[in-house]
Chain A
Amino acid sequence: MTNGWIDIKNTDMMLIMGGNPAENHPCGFKWPIEAKRQRNAKMIVVDPRFTRTAATADMFVQIRAGSDIAFLGGMINYALANGRINKEYVANFTNAPFVVKDDFKLPEEDGVFSGFDAATQVYDKSTWNYQGSGGTGKGLPEKVTSDPSLENPRCVYQLLKKHYSRYTPEMVEKITGIPKEKFLAAADLFTSIRKDGDTKKVATVIYAVGWTQHTFGSQIIRTAAMLQLLMGNVGRAGGGVNALRGHSNIQGATDIAGIFDNLPGYLKVPTPADTDFKAWMTRITPTSSKPGDWESWNYWSNTPKFAVSLLKAMYGDAAKKENDWAFHYLPKVDRNYSWTYLWDGMYNGHVKGLLAFGMNGVMVGPNSGKNIDALKKADWLVVCDIYPDETSEFWKSPGIKPEEMKNIKTEVYRLPGAGFAEKDGTFVNSARWLQWKWVAVPPPGNAKLDHEILARIFLKVRELYQKEGGKFPDPIVNLSWGYTNPQSPSLAEVARELNGKALADIKDATGAELKSGQQLPGFAWLKDDGSTSCGIWIWCGSWTEAGALIQRRGTDDPSGLGAYPNWGWSWPMNRRVLYNRASCDVSGKPWDGSRKQVWWNEAQKKWVGVDVPDFKADSAPKDHMGPFIMNPEGVGRLFAPLAAMAEGPFPEHYEPFESPTVNLLHPKQQNNPVVKKFTSAADKWGTKESGFNVICTTYRLTEHYHYWTKNNPVNVQLVPEPFVELPVELASDLGIKGGDKVKVSSARGIYIAKAMVTHRIKPMQINGEKVYQIGMPIHFGYRGIQEDEGRTERMLVNELTPAVVDPNAYTPEFKGFLVKVEKA
């Protein structure tokens, strides 16, 4: 989230799309309700199904799964055509005035941007850049040509306008299935906050995996971010682009590098091309790129300080200037190690083993059948969980005959881990708040804390390296492991290490001093000379000499905006709303005096406020430093240059990989031109022609939590069985009544469950043809209370879903694939 859960109460307008917070985030959903109750805020819900969120909305719009960019592109077109934007914000805080290279071409004719090589499906992105001078010639120009009047036909603003002028209400209707009048009503309502030049009101966008789980998911989110930039809603209380994270600590997992191409704090991993530390830093440290009379802080220019401090945290004294800070110990990532690629690698015999901690790999999918087959080929599997799950019992999955079972040679180890209430540590919530929690009960029986299990595995591996040497023991034997109890490090100790400390007596820019060994007060102290260590720079400041800020429980809220500055600690530096300098106009005065966050104090010559300014504190408005300090341009990107996005600088509508209709914008370019898919025998695709004529989407229920709660009696009582939600009309076409068994098949597998026949999903008209959508909750499998009693079919929804992924984030397309529905 750019903002936070509680901050939603400050909004005037909500677009909830690609998310179903009432069902999946019921506790957080109190804040949208609060905005309705306290401010008469309006709520628009856009979803393929009428959900429990929709039940409380002011307007519900049913959309075809996977047509989100068409809808949002239509909104951008509407906002631009009707002047429902914040012009001052757009002209000063975004790259709208930047002039783009002459040979950059929009995809209006053939569906691809300039530089596409159809044979290799690769883009040469060199034309996706600004005009200007300076720089290396390969990256962004140092000095960007810009037109503050926004009239230059090659400026971002004009290109954007041209690009989305094709997203007319008629086109939106044909692609999304939303009748033109309904679309216009939604567009009018959402943009009404900028009616008649109003710049006070604010709108928020709230989404979750309904946006990410598409072959163009990152671009859906970008489209929303662009709409929010155009309307001037980013940086403001009650505004922003707000991702509702799915697990209690998924934000923390992402921060700490749960993703293969990141190191902690979103540092990019080295690749084999980075021959030394300097080469790596040169590649990943951006230089500023801006119009001559503007300023850009370009905060990522500090990357070397973050990287050296990380290596010091990892390797301690073994990381020295002389050995390039142990850069050579870091793995150089030479291929895609994301989720679907790992399973494909195992399916193809390259990946020999898997440690599955805190996740049920087989259930998670996509294409679970392929993943089960992959595990049959693995040498070993270690599963650490609190229940016997589908992954650890993949060899018992339905359909495997006893003879086949005997032939499965995979060695499976099951380790009893600890549940969330059985360990302390932090959760990082969607609002980026680090909150310490205390252990409630000890783990039962022989169950062990997960970090104890991991530590003991590590110590054993280290012992082997120490004894036997091996090819490259240094990264293992030199890893710093100075915990008081090496067998089971205390998480408080780990949290202090992640915050970081001074390794020598140091001074900051103001001359303040820190003694060697003291905890760092914040990342402004980080050095690239080895005198600081810090495990994750964005969390620096969370556990300082003042104590564990993450353990704070202060309930004072002086601003009344729900910032609660003394509750827990939010990264970065306890800022509650990111980019909050943009909550003020160019002169540094809040857009809305009743929701003041930060502002320029001319007398003190600095930014002050009720939130921590996300900005250079002494940069005067007249210097025109951009509020988006993490971009080298300093401004928000309506146009994403160069390698920022895989499929183009402006989001374009492409059809889901399996779609019942042609891409109306460019029939020859049906799908994302750079989509990633697999070619194994298990990767099969369905078409309408081959009988897969119904759109299917998957989702979660309030009553269950992923694949755990099927083991918990109360949850099972609330929703005892899997089901398939289908429209009344489809059910009557097929002669299916509520409670009848239905068989849903995709090109990859089948799923049988009872029918829930409902008016909450209606048939849609897509490009003149009637199309049905169905939905299925994902929670049930072949282990659980009901499953073990034989009360369900013991099947996995993710046997149906395709392993085809977004080329930016590598997220699979769980939403909007094709199936066939029959009475079972």
Chain B
Amino acid sequence: MSNGTLEIKAISGHTGTVPGRDTSRDYAVAKLIDVTTCIGCKACEVACLEWNGYPFRETTFDNTYQTMPDTAWNYYNLIRFDEHTAEDGTFSWLMRKDGCMHCADPGCLRACPSDGAIVQYANGIVDFQQENCIGCQYCVTGCPFNIPKFNAETKKVHKCTLCSDRVGVGLEPACIKACPTGCLHFGSKDDMKDLAEKRVAQLKEHTSHKNAGVYDPAGVGGTHVMYVLHDIEHPERYGGLPKDPQVPLLVRMWKGPVKWLGNLAMVAGIVGVAAHYVRFGPKEKHED
């Protein structure tokens, strides 16, 4: 999704200066998802689908309320439903809105070799620019949240844009607008952090959720999508949210010491072993 109105901070596969860098005018934004007040209504899923103009895709029943097993190239926003029984027998039904976390240190962008296929705006939004995407899917490997999804037909990768096209003109993301309970919030990262901490303090004091906490993982430099969880000790219960997500080591190296290798490989048209590893493993290949 290209966006001409937001200030750019980082560009994938790019050497030289980043236009507009350090002329800071946009403040860092964030989406806060208060999982404790999500009712799994999927209004956000529908809003996302409609704003992005994606058509009907067939789904099948899979013993769950969850719309489909995973997000897809044309389905960025998915509520994950998980049943959980605690040791004392207390039962909970957890619903988490899954989608791109808009990492401050985005593994996808680090991994991407193509100039301008992924950009990070100064406000924190990480956005894929499909016209520059070469379909190598390195970003898939770079992402610790299993977010970028490949469209086999167009050979392009897609993911949540945090509605950069809306935010760029002063609107909130479509999901935020649709959420009926107000469990989704959008604003400056500072404000959202503040709101999240206050909510956590309230949960700890007034409810049985004594382990409530804010999910803003340091391993990826913090995120521009944060969660309030009932139990911060066990993010994995919420549809496998990683406890301590990190940009994969190889991807770090890729963008660091061995970056020249990758660029050379691309230029020469040689897909080296290392690059292949970056591309496919250790993860399973996820295709639509």
Contact = CB atoms under 8 A, between A and B. Distances in A.
B61 A58 contact: no
30 contacts: A22-B40, A23-B39, A26-B39, A26-B180, A29-B181, A30-B182, A34-B182, A52-B95, A55-B39, A55-B92, A55-B94, A55-B95, A56-B38, A60-B91, A702-B41, A702-B42, A703-B42, A714-B46, A714-B49, A717-B56, A718-B67, A719-B67, A720-B58, A738-B64, A739-B61, A739-B62, A755-B63, A756-B63, A759-B91, A760-B91
B208 interface: yes
Contacts, number: 103
Interface centre among B50, B63, B206 (most CB of A within 10 A): B63
B42 A718 contact: yes
Interface of B: 36-43, 45-46, 49-50, 55-65, 67, 83, 85, 91-95, 180-183, 199, 202, 206-208
B148 to A, nearest CB: 22
CB-based closest 8 A-B pairs: A738-B63, A713-B56, A22-B39, A26-B41, A721-B61, A55-B93, A40-B206, A27-B180
B184 to A, nearest CB: 12
A760 B39 contact: no
Given A720-B58, A721-B60, A50 B181 contact: no
Contacts of A765: none
A718 B46 contact: yes
A402 B245 CA distance: 62
Contact of A720 (B38, B42, B59, B202): B59
A760 B64 CA distance: 11
B98 to A, nearest CB: 15
A758 interface: yes
Contacts of A720: 58-61
Interface of A: 22-23, 26-27, 29-30, 33-34, 36-37, 40, 50, 52-56, 58, 60, 702-703, 713-714, 716-721, 723, 738-739, 754-760
Nearest to A31: B181
B83 A26 contact: no
Contacts of B49: 714
A58 B208 contact: yes
A702 B37 CA distance: 16
Nearest to B57: A717
Contacts of B93: 50, 52, 54-55, 760
A717 B63 contact: no
Contact of A52 (B36, B39, B45, B67): B39
A27 B58 CA distance: 27
B63 A759 contact: no
Contacts of A36: 37
Contacts of B57: 717
A36 B93 CA distance: 18
B83 A760 contact: yes
A26 B43 CA distance: 9
Nearest to A21: B39
Nearest to A22: B39
The secondary structure that dominates the B interface is: loop
Contacts of B55: 713
B59 A58 contact: no
A759 B83 contact: yes
Contacts of A756: 61, 63-64
A336 to B, nearest CB: 38
A703 B55 CA distance: 17
Interface centre among B56, B58, B65 (most CB of A within 10 A): B65
A716 B42 CA distance: 13
Nearest to A36: B37
Given A54-B93, A758-B83, 5 more contacts: A29-B39, A56-B36, A60-B91, A720-B58, A756-B61
Contacts of B91: 50, 60, 759-760
B182 A717 contact: no
Contacts of A27: 180
Contacts of B41: 22-23, 26, 52, 702
Contact of A53 (B39, B58, B62): B39
A33 B83 CA distance: 21
Contacts of A755: 63
Contacts of A56: 36-39
Contacts of A759: 83, 85, 91
Given A52-B41, A759-B91, A717 B58 contact: yes
Contacts of A52: 39-41, 93, 95
Contact of B45 (A53, A713, A718, A721): A718
A591 B56 CA distance: 54
Contacts of A54: 93
A717 B213 CA distance: 33
A721 B60 CA distance: 7
A174 to B, nearest CB: 21
A757 B63 contact: yes
A719 to B, nearest CB: 8
Contacts of A718: 42, 45-46, 59, 67
Contacts of B65: 719
A33 B61 contact: no
A6 to B, nearest CB: 13
Nearest to B39: A22
Given A54-B93, A55-B95, A29 B180 contact: yes
A528 B59 CA distance: 62
Contacts of A717: 56-59, 67
Contacts of A53: 39
A717 B56 CA distance: 7
A367 B57 CA distance: 34
